[in-house]
Structures are given as structure tokens and as C-alpha cells.
Structure 1
Amino acid sequence: MEVGLGFLGTFNTKYYYVVGIGHTERKFWFITPEVGPDATYTFGLIGDLGQTYDSNKTLTHYELNPRKGQAVLFVGDLSYADQYPNHDNVYTPLTWLQEELLKVNRSETPWLIILMHSPWYNSYNYHYMEGETMRVMNEPWFSKYRVDVVFAGHVHAYERSERVSNVAYNIVNGICKPVKDQSAPVYITIGDGGNIEGLATNMTEPQPDYSAYREASFGHATFDIKNRTHAYYSWHRNQDGYAVKADSIWFFNRFYHPVDDSTTAKS
């Protein structure tokens, strides 16, 4: 079934839509957000959910969070196809990425958030450097266009980076280590929704300098946009109380308020 939505011009309006065919139809709804550079909005964040006891616990924990989002950003996977042929796509350059980044008018859309599945910065020994080809070819655009934050899944654990980039390398200088870069995004891996494969518990040691916080626990997060300059992010473990923040940080917008926000990190 295909769901089509035309232009929705009125904010704070509830729209209903139906997914399914015949007796499998289910009705859902959403409320259109306020529009403007200082509009507030909260996103929930869940990755690699699966269909398990732990994934149900993640969803329940999120639903009972007093600061749950108005929409959920889901960074995959939901169903797993590991035993099927061709389940991993061959990577091709994201030629559309630069075109889309060029279109973003930061005076209207201050916050630039990117979702991907395979993380570029990952200090776990699971799926280590699987996103490296994609990173090498596309990371310069993230710094050039001042992306605020990148969310990924794939690794079944939690990790948050400092603002770093690794774009200085050439065959002459040999520089190939991530460095702090206030034009770069924070990279957050949140593939800890509760998948059937379990948690990724084996980490590289010592913890790299670019890794600000990491933990192998199931959970969810919220990203709470306050205005064009500030947003509050928090990560919540399933085993904690609904309002407990295991990791949190104030984000300062890279376009309107590009000051160093790494000093506000709480581990």
C-alpha cells in the first residue's frame, strides 16, 4: 500500500492516515509542527529495534518518558535479513548528498540533522570501519555545510563522539587521525533498541579520544530543539527510571551559535 500526503499548510493540526489492506488496515495520526527558525520540537531516537522482549521494553520505556518526542527518528534495522542473499547493498557515492545540503536554507531550517545506518565513528569491535568508504568520500561535506549531529545504528550499543573530522589525509602528509573540529557534527550511535542479536559488548581499548561516551546498554534518546541556537539531547537506559539521563549534552547550533559545546558533556 502507498500513502501519499500533499502540502500540509496548517501547523498544530491532526492528520489521520491508514496503512494496510482490507482487514489489516490500521489508522495512525500525526500533528503538524510549528514552522519557523525558533520553533520548538522534540524528536525521539530509536535504532535497531527488532521484535524481542528488549525491544518491547525500549518502546515502553520511551512511551513513559515524560519528555518523549513529537516524532521518532528511527535509524534501522527493524527486520534482519542476515541469512538472505544480497542483503548488503554495494556502496555508491552519494551524489545527491551535496545537492541536498546546498538546498538547506539555515535561516528557515537552522538545525541540520543527518540519519544513516552504519556509523562512521565506531569504537566497538562490531561492524568496525564498515562505513569507512562512505565516510572518506562524503565527510568533507558535513564540515563544509556545518551539520549539527549525525545519528546512526547498526552497532548494537550506544556511543557519542566529540565534534571531530578526519578529512586532512593525503598521500604526502599521512595525517589519518580524527581531530576536533567545531565545524563538524557530533556522531551518535544509537543501535541499542533491543534487536535479537543482543548487545555489542566488545569495545576497542583504550577508548579513542574522539569517543566522548560509550556503553553497551539498551535504550532510547531524545533531541529537544529549544530554538535556533540551542537543543538538549539525552540518552536513557532501559534499566533506569523513566526520567533518568545516562548521558546528556547541550547542543549549540553550528550555524547560529558555533561555540565549543564539548565542555558541556556529561558522562
Structure 2
Amino acid sequence: MRTAAVVTLVLSAVAGVLAPASADNGIPTTWQSNSGPAEVQYVEQPFTDDGGVQQVHVSLAPQSSTPGAVVVSFASSTQSDDAGVYYREDGAKEISFVSAKVTSYSHTTNENGGTYTSPYLYHALVEEVSTNCTLRYEPSLQSGQQPAELSRAVRVPPLASAFGGDPNQSMKLALIGDLGQTSNSMQTMDHLVQDEGIAALLVMGDLSYADNLDERWDNWGRLFEPVLDNTPLMALPGNHEIETDAKDGVSFRPYAHRFQNMPNCQNGCGGFDENGWKANMWHSFDLGSAHIIHVSSYHKYEPGSPQYMWLDRDLKAVDRRKTPWVFVNLHAPWYNSNVAHQGEYQSYDVRRVWQPLVCDSRVNIMFAGHVHSYERVLPTCDNTTVNSATGVTHINIGDGGNREGLYDYWLPGENGRAAPVWSAFREGSYGHGVLDIRNATHAYWTWHRNDDGEKMARDTTWVVNQVAVEAAQEGQRGQDGVGQGPTLVNNFFSVHITFLPLLLVLMLAAYSAFVTVVLLRRRRGERDYDRLTELTATDKV
């Protein structure tokens, strides 16, 4: 981590007083938010602008590209039509160059006292890359000035199972929600980088907590550059990304310009279309053996809405034989036993509308943020019944380090229970999660809390992919001759073939016992005959 100065700022509760959003943006006209304490710790990254490259982060690329492609994003106060990225695979001699597209935006808010203009924001699609390699790269503002060395590196993931990779491949994902830019945020990220082999960092919204103070987006990008330039960042929008423009009513503008990777638009994706390109509001991507879906809690979600129809298509398009794991990530959690953020329709009504899609598709896990605490929910699909075979596991990780503080007040369960029947673990502490996918059927989840300055594994559990387990069992039955249908003949032979070794053992044991009995009787008969002969000889008979 770079050295950062910690300063105390007094902030107004911006998130609770957002102007109504324009219906043209596809955003509901009203929404509810809880605002945290005003006095917070804010980490400011020392910075002197020399006109060079800053705020570098890497993300996974559109899947219309080659499977190993990544997007390198960076910012600069210098405008350049020749900007791009120099790169080569580790071990290769030749250095290549790819041009970047450039964008910028202006944002008018009451909080910043006028109009903010962003740096020039560059996004370069690096396609000619192999999977499962180390990519060395260097962003540049000039195409003709090849650097002496490529100082940055990112690990390109192995080929996803959706494109022919191994469905049993292992993979680690790091997950954070409501990160912010405080000393707690720094501690969370410092702990995260101690986990080796992270394929990507997934953030469940509320990234910077800029809250219309746009310079904080720039500070956030510089603050976490030492992590995000070597770990692919995959983000989704939260309520703190809404940031409605006071002049034209457009929302999500800073987020949309800064995160333009849009991994999969083959089934349609996006949100509002401001400048001829679709905003990165919802999307999906394949990583390892998983299909990962990011959706927005703050765009229209009803049946017939663009997001609903996209989600329905995307879920139905997943081939679980190739891609055994499916995760759906969003900001507002569907299941939450914390006192905070109760009664918000972005949680309960979105759940009512989308839960049939998610449960019918047998999604494995849903990750969320928003509530500033940690909670793991047992597999469920109806708010009352725990069903490990068909339910969806929900994990809320809105404890990344935000400026509003932690929520550690909890609701009791029914009938005198300390917690709802579906709540497995809950705690109001900062931290992050790691999902370690071991194979097609099992993944190991760990929540690490930032307790006493040490990374601690506070909650762990195995997640069993019932879809893959059932597929494996069906495949085994098919190999045993049961794959043509559940006929009585097939079942008869299946049972006998399955227990054939046991039957052979029992038959051998029975035969051995029979032989033993026969031999014992023969020996006893011989003794009786000898005795009879002896008695006859002595005239005692």
C-alpha cells in the first residue's frame, strides 16, 4: 500500500438527500436510504499532478473478445489521441501496443459548489493475450514512446469452462461491499492482498463514497491503484453511485465513465444510453467454472423492463454442464436481519420479482452489500424454509470500510429465537470474503474480519453445488446403464450391478461356511464310527 495521510473531515449526510431521479434514466422515482454519522475518517492520497498516468485499474474484458482479454483503464490530466497500453506476455520478447479510447465528463452538484470536470479517462482493450499467463504492461500517453521496461503485471485467468476450459478447475474470488476510502478501507485491502492467487476482486457497489464530491473519485482511484493495477476489478453500482447531476438530472455519470469494461453484452446489457454507448449498470461474465451476473438494485426491475428481460435471458443461456457455478451479485440484499435498511423496496420488492428467476435457475450464491455488517444466510427461496438442495445461499458483505460506520444491531427471530431461522452467522465488523472454488461441486467460503489489526477467519463454510452433484450422479447412473430411462429392467440390473461385489463376498462366505459344516460333520461321523467299532469289539453293545 502507498503511504496515506489520515485526516478527519466533517461531511453532510449526502446519501440520504438525493434529488429524485429522472424516469428517463430507468431509475425509480423514489428510494429510501439510511445515512450514517457525519464525522468520519477519510484517507487522502498525497498527489502532485505532473500530467502523467494515474488511477490505473484492470478489469476483465468483453467476452466478444478473445478469452484472455482484459481492459486497462487509467486517467490523466493530459489529453492524448495516441494513448494506449504497451504489453507482452511474461517470457515473450516482443512488446505490442494497443490504442485506448478516451472519455471525460462534467458533473454539476450542489455539494461541490459548481461543476466538476474529470481527468481524461482512458480504456484500452488488450485482446492478443493467452489465458493463464502473466501479462506485463505499461499505460502510456504516447504510442511512439516505448518504455524501457513494463513495470506492471496482472495474472490472466485460465480459460473459462464456458469456452472449453476444465469445469473442475479451482479459482479464488475476493469479495467486498461498501468499500469507501477510510482507514478501515485501507486495512481491508491490506488484508485482501495477503490472500494469494486471487483471480478477481468483486465489489458489491458503493465503491468510493464520493457522494457528489467528485475529487474523491480521483483520490479513490489513486489510493487503491497498488491493488487494482494487478488484480482485475469487477464492480456493480450501489446507491452511492447514483450521484444525480443537478443540472440535467442524469444519474450514475461518474460510475459509467470510469468503469467501461462491460464484459458480456451478447444478451444485451447496460442501462441508460447517454452518449451512444451503454452504461455498465448490469452485465455478466464467465470466470473459471463460474458464470457471474452483476445487476443493479437501482434501475427498473419489473417484468418487461430491460433489466428483467436481460436477467431472464442471461440465466437461461447458461449451460450448467459446462459452467457448473452461477452467482448473482447486487447491492441491496434480499435477506437481512440487521435493524438497518429494513423496508426498502430495492430489497423486498426486487426479491419478490426476481426470486422466481433466480431459484428456477438454481443459482448457487447471491452476494450483496448495502448493510454495513456481515451476514450469511442458509440456502432458502421463500424467507422461511431452509433447503440445502434447492435454496440459494445469500451472503451480505457490506462491511468493507465505508465512512458511515458499522451496523451491529440485529432483529430477533420468531418464537423466541435469537435470529431468523435462515440466518447462519451475523456480525458487525469490517472485513472481506474469499470464495475458494475447489471443483465443480464444492467451494469453501471464508469471511475475514479486520479485528485487532489482524486478518482473522471469523466465519467459514462449505458450499455444495447441488446442480453439479446431481449431474455427476446422473452421469454415474448413465455409465452403469441407467441413462436410458427409469425402467424396471434397468433398475433391476442397476441394483444388482451396484451390489455385485457385496453379493460375491456373501456367496463366498456362505460357501465357506457350508464346506466347514460338512467337514465338521464328516469328522464327527468318523469319530462316532470309531467309537462304535471299539464298543463292539469289547461286547459292550
1:114 maps to: 328
2:184 maps to: 54
**Bigger shift: residues 31-40 or 148-157:** 31-40
Residues 102-154 of structure 1: CA distance to partner in whole angstroms, max 9, x if unpaired? Answer: 11111111111111111000111211242111100010111111111111011
Superposition deviation, residue 187 in structure 1? 0.2
1:174 maps to: none
- Residue in structure 2 matching 1:77, options 190, 193, 206: 206
Q: Distance in 1 between matches of 2:127 and 2:452?
A: 41
Q: Distance in 2 between matches of 1:56 and 1:128?
A: 29
Paired residue secondary structure (1:119)? coil
| TM-score, reference length from structure 1 | 0.82
Which amino acid letter does the alignment assign opposite residue 184 of structure 1? Answer: G
- Residue in structure 1 matching 2:461, options 216, 228, 249: 249
Matched, 1:91 2:300: yes
Taking a change above 3 Å as real, the CA distance of residues 119 and 6 of structure 1, as seen in their structure-2 partners, is: same
Q: Distance in 1 between matches of 2:137 and 2:467?
A: 35
**Equivalent pair of 1:62/1:68 in contact (CA under 8 Å):** no
Superposition deviation, residue 11 in structure 1? 2.4
Which amino acid letter does the alignment assign opposite residue 313 of structure 2? Answer: E
Gaps spanning 5+ residues in structure 2: where? 1-121, 143-150, 160-164, 212-239, 245-250, 253-296, 303-307, 414-418, 471-541
Residues paired across the two proteins, number: 243
Paired residue secondary structure (1:201)? coil
| TM-score, reference length from structure 2 | 0.42
Gaps spanning 5+ residues in structure 1: where? 167-176, 259-267
**Equivalent pair of 1:11/1:31 in contact (CA under 8 Å):** yes
**Equivalent pair of 1:51/1:196 in contact (CA under 8 Å):** yes
CA RMSD, Structure 1 to Structure 2 (Å)? 2.5
Q: Distance in 2 between matches of 1:197 and 1:76?
A: 15
Larger Rg: 1 or 2? 2
Superposition deviation, residue 21 in structure 1? 6.4
Q: Distance in 2 between matches of 1:21 and 1:186?
A: 45
The correspondence of residues 100-179 of structure 1 with structure 2, limited to 5 A, is 100-130=314-344, 131-166=347-382, 177-179=383-385
Q: Distance in 1 between matches of 2:423 and 2:140?
A: 42
Superposition deviation, residue 61 in structure 1? 1.1
Paired residue secondary structure (2:185)? helix
2:108 maps to: none
Superposition deviation, residue 17 in structure 1? 5.7
Residues 184-213 of structure 1: CA distance to partner in whole angstroms, max 9, x if unpaired? Answer: 210000011000001012211241111111
2:525 maps to: none
Superposition deviation, residue 183 in structure 1? 1.3
2:67 maps to: none
Superposition deviation, residue 84 in structure 1? 4.9
**Equivalent pair of 1:233/1:250 in contact (CA under 8 Å):** yes
Taking a change above 3 Å as real, the CA distance of residues 201 and 91 of structure 1, as seen in their structure-2 partners, is: farther
Matched, 1:192 2:192: no
Q: Distance in 1 between matches of 2:153 and 2:329?
A: 23
Q: Which structure dedicates a bigger proportion of its chain to helix? A: 2
Superposition deviation, residue 241 in structure 1? 7.7
Which amino acid letter does the alignment assign opposite residue 157 of structure 1? Answer: S
Taking a change above 3 Å as real, the CA distance of residues 119 and 14 of structure 1, as seen in their structure-2 partners, is: same
Q: Distance in 2 between matches of 1:125 and 1:104?
A: 36
Which amino acid letter does the alignment assign opposite residue 166 of structure 2? Answer: G
1:2 maps to: 123
Q: Distance in 1 between matches of 2:185 and 2:131?
A: 32
Paired residue secondary structure (2:468)? coil
Q: Distance in 2 between matches of 1:7 and 1:184?
A: 40
Residues 195-246 of structure 1: CA distance to partner in whole angstroms, max 9, x if unpaired? Answer: 0001012211241111111000000111011111111111011116866421
Superposition deviation, residue 58 in structure 1? 0.4
2:224 maps to: none
